[in-house]
Structure 1
Amino acid sequence: MKQEFSHLSAEGDPRMVDVSEKAVTARTAVAQTIVVLDEAIMDRLENDEIHTKKGPVFQTAILAGIMGAKRTSDLIPLCHPIGLDNCEVNIVVNERREVVITCTARVTGRTGVEMEALTGASVAALTIYDMCKGFSHEIEIRETKLLKKTGGKRDFKRA
């Protein structure tokens, strides 16, 4: 059986998915984005934070990621506006000196929070770029991906 795109009508027109008949369940999604910063920027890392004239980079990115997750339906046309029950953004520097952003979004509702988690991680990454570009434009944002989701029709966990 060929699966159809849920956001297209039978005629191929864009539409919002009707979630009115879906069960209300607890739903969670975790997304990750990796940011690679130039060594000149990473050399400014002190006590798990980078400070610039604009302020603390990671703390600002955490706030921006949460705000971005909350505004997902304003950015992506067919996303349902949902009231998040929780959103957490964590930022760590791994052993390869990459900045790893993880966004976890939770809601009890009829639709999932994958887009909110992906948006939160992406906005946090863009904020890091914005705050660090004065030092170098050798910044790479990569590997934005869904790590896992629970609730709804089926769960997902990246291997």
Structure 2
Amino acid sequence: MNRDESGLTLVEVLATLTIFAIVSVIIWSVFFQGYNFSQKAISKNQMQQETNLLITNLLKIHQSAKQYNIINTSSNCEITVNITNKDNSTRTEIFNHSNMCFKFEIKNAITNPVVPNRAGNDVQLKLTTSDKKDPNNKIAIDTFLYRVKGVKYQ
């Protein structure tokens, strides 16, 4: 027999494949963990933007309406606002999103319907926005709906 033969034994090949598989699984899991974190961060950013838009719209309603009634429709994750304008006309605005669920809680002693003209009728709201796909991915924002004294709102 020739002792100068070079090559790999079956044990060396199996050991190499095992080490390669372990390293590949670790790299793969780190990649997907980073991807999932990135998706959750993107979702939180979108929820923050949608909640800020909702707050802006509710503030406009609070500053321009004679009175309004705000309703939580939890079955389809939307907020409905029934508005009575200064000319006594009424309209309804519905705030919803295809991927997000909106909920609110009035934190102070204001009752529905809200009459913003009365003194001390600033509304303290806690708005919660959650992802419909992952309800644990949510944000909550405490905010005030207010009117500035001395300003003539239209």
Same fold (TM over 0.5): no
- What TM-score does the superposition give when structure 2 sets the normalisation length? 0.27
Greater gyration radius: 2
Higher helix share: 2
Does 1 or 2 have the higher relative contact order (CA < 8 Å, sep 6+)?
A: 1
